[in-house]
Amino acid sequence: MPFTYNRIIHFQDTDAAGVVYFTNILSMCHEAYEASLLAANINLKTFFSNAAVAVPIVHADVDFLRPLYCGDEVQISLQPRLLGDSEFEVEYQVLGERLMAKAVTRHVCIGGDRKRLVLGDELVGWLRLWEGVDNELPSQ
């Protein structure tokens, strides 16, 4: 089941070309990611400023299909996917009238020494909550 996040395009999101500045699409996707963590009862303040364990983004890509304007309503749908013991990616679809943009972020769990760590229970719980059915084991 994907998580969904609703957002109105702010004036600050736009640039002098009259549409959303490209990197702000990724920032909105990150807002959706934060909302999905919050919905899994994860404390954002602790999660994002923990010096001992962090899951920084190591890769992001984004396709811009249609322009977005100030006041536009979008729904961002998000689905995480486990890639390994210490790594996951999140797929985002930004929906307006139609599909406006899609993006992926890849995250790696590291310790204070920046070496890989196995993902903790909290994040695994979050993954289980919002990941797609294709990740689930077939029921016998």
Select 49 or 140, whichever has its Cβ closest to a second copy: 49
Q: Least separation, in Å, of the C-beta of 69 and a second copy?
A: 5
- Contacts of residues 37-43 at CB distance under 8 Å and 24 or more positions apart, as own/partner, are 37/126, 39/3, 39/129, 40/122, 40/125, 40/126, 40/129, 40/130, 42/122, 42/123, 42/126
Helices (H) and strands (E) in the chain, counts: 3, 7
Select 30 or 81, whichever has its Cβ closest to a second copy: 30
Residues that bind a second copy (CB under 8 A): 8, 10-12, 14-19, 21-24, 26-27, 30-31, 34-35, 38, 43-45, 48-49, 54, 56-65, 67, 69-72, 105, 114
Let me know if 72 is a catalytic residue: no
Select 2 or 67, whichever has its Cβ closest to a second copy: 67
43 phi and psi angles, rounded to 5 deg: -75, 110
Catalytic residues: 15
